[in-house]
Amino acid sequence: MRAVDIVAKKRDGGELSREEIAFLISGYVAGEIPDYQVSAWAMAVFFRGMTAGETAALTQAMLQSGKTIALSDIPGPFVDKHSTGGVGDKTSLILAPLAASLGIKVPMMSGRALGHTGGTLDKLEAISGYRTALSADEFRKIIRRDGFAMTGQTAEIVPADRLLYALRDVTATVESIPLITASILSKKAAEGAQALVLDVKYGSGAFMKETAKAEALARSLVDTGSALGLKVTALLTDMDEPLGAMVGNFLEVEECLDCLEGRGPKDLMDVTLELAARMVVLGGKAANAAEGRRMCESALASGKPRELFLRNVQSQGGDPAALEAARGVYRSPVCAELRAAQGGYIARISAQDVGQAAVRLGVGRNRTEDPVCPTAGVQFHRRRGDAVQPGDALMTVWAADQAGLDSALPQLERAVEYSAAPPPPRSLIYKEVI
């Protein structure tokens, strides 16, 4: 077999065999097939696409490129959630302890902020002492004890994805549905999940801006996951505006605690409960999403998910008492208030603008190696649909430094759109794909 023939076959619209795909991926990881051939192949896939069978074979080949986490000695069911990413998207921190409180085991491997989208690991690391680089043994031990654990991907898990993603990033081939599908599912299968709820976002702050593209990605993820023996459900959810009233690493941890205490904002609670309800269904604890949601609501009211969250903070190196003491005070000293430029109603707050401004503030990063600031961010005092008078406080903004604050404020100002009449209601869940 020769890599050049595989590239030519895909370039001409052919269907690659399982063996050809495995040859390409294993050869690439072994350093036997060079970047330039894999780049050409990725571009051919970008234009020609892949059949469902090819996408499943690619996922499998990537999964087999590294180690997998063995969870078979722990009683399941193992159900995870994955989001395609957004601004203020902090549902993982709430739904992991929530699902765990209902007997679901959640083996969660998360990523970091990149570009305008936030990252779960950066949020967790805003909790003083919290460790996100767990060994496989620690990961297993904490799942057994707390029902969930949150870690970053280790070097041994799906090495093919790390190499391929870096290559796609610099060859304009990230936005390929089969390549995204294989990237996401290989990692989720490697962490030991048996079932997966996907939050596929659309709108200005999402990776896929249009609903049709988001739906095509959801369909590909669900079908490929099923072909691999995973139970998968996808919800298409709105990411045109930030989720919740806080954007920022520690700010979002605080908002999650508010949610676990029954004081969360409605949009964030709705998306979280709908996702968690599907986790409970996939884990076999509820017959349908409505029942799953009711179970999640009663679990939240019982306080058990909050208790599990704090227990996990302790298990992963943090101090729950210090976390409590930091609430409302752990903020950057570089701070400003943004006020309404006019009166009327808030018609929209653009997630994309807020996400990009958050990078300037220090919440996120443009290059994977850059650090983030735990105490930077934005707290919204007014949101879509709220009436405002000129000069009303719209948001409080914290930055890592003055230059970041100065460059973010104009973009945050631009993020806010006004209308004379109240905007129409926004539906957060567009569709479920099963």
Q: Which is nearer to ligand URA, 165 or 418 (CB)?
A: 165
Distance CA 167, CA 394 (A): 41
Is 180 one of the binding residues for ligand URA (CB under 6 A)?
Answer: yes
* Residue nearest ligand URA (C-beta atom): 183
Q: Which of 39, 65, 92, 183 is catalytic?
A: 183
CB of 100 vs ligand URA, minimal distance in Å: 23
CA atoms within 13 A on the CB side of 17: 6
Which position among 89, 146, 161, 238 bears the catalytic label?
Answer: 161
Enumerate residues 6+ apart whose C-beta is below 8 A from 406. Answer: none
Separation of CA 106 from chain center? 15
The type of residue at 166 is A
Options 33, 134, 184, 397; binder of ligand URA; rule CB under 6 A = 184
Q: Of 298 and 368, which has the nearer Cβ to ligand URA?
A: 368
Which one of 126-134, 178-186, 297-305, 324-332 is the stretch in contact with ligand URA (CB under 6 A)?
178-186
Residues 6+ apart with CB under 8 A from 423: 345, 346, 347, 348, 384, 385
> Residue 367 Cβ, how far from ligand URA at the closest point, in Å?
17
- Greatest alpha-carbon pair distance for the chain in Å reads 69
What is the C-alpha separation between 291 and 76, in angstroms, rounded? Answer: 20
Active site includes 392? no
Q: Give yes or no: 266 in active site.
A: no
What is the rounded distance in angstroms from the CA atom of residue 319 to the CA atom of residue 209? 39
Tokens of 59: 């996922």
Please name the amino acid found at residue 220.
S
Residue 108 within binding range of ligand URA, rule CB under 6 A: no
> Strand, coil or helix: what is 2?
coil
Q: Does residue 117 bind ligand URA (CB under 6 A)?
A: no
CB 388 within 8 A of CB 394: yes
- Does residue 379 interact with ligand URA by CB under 6 A? no
Asked if 116 is an active-site residue, the reply is no
Sole window of 20-28, 175-183, 356-364, 416-424 interacting with ligand URA (rule: CB under 6 A): 175-183
| Closest distance of CB 183 from ligand URA, Å | 3
**DSSP at 394:** E
Which letter does DSSP use for residue 420 in this model? S
- Nearest approach, Cβ of residue 103 and ligand URA (Å): 28
Which of 59, 132, 153, 183 binds ligand URA (CB under 6 A)? It is: 183
183 is catalytic: yes
Return residues touching ligand URA (CB under 6 A).
165, 174, 179-180, 183-184
Enzyme catalytic residues: 82, 161, 168, 183, 187
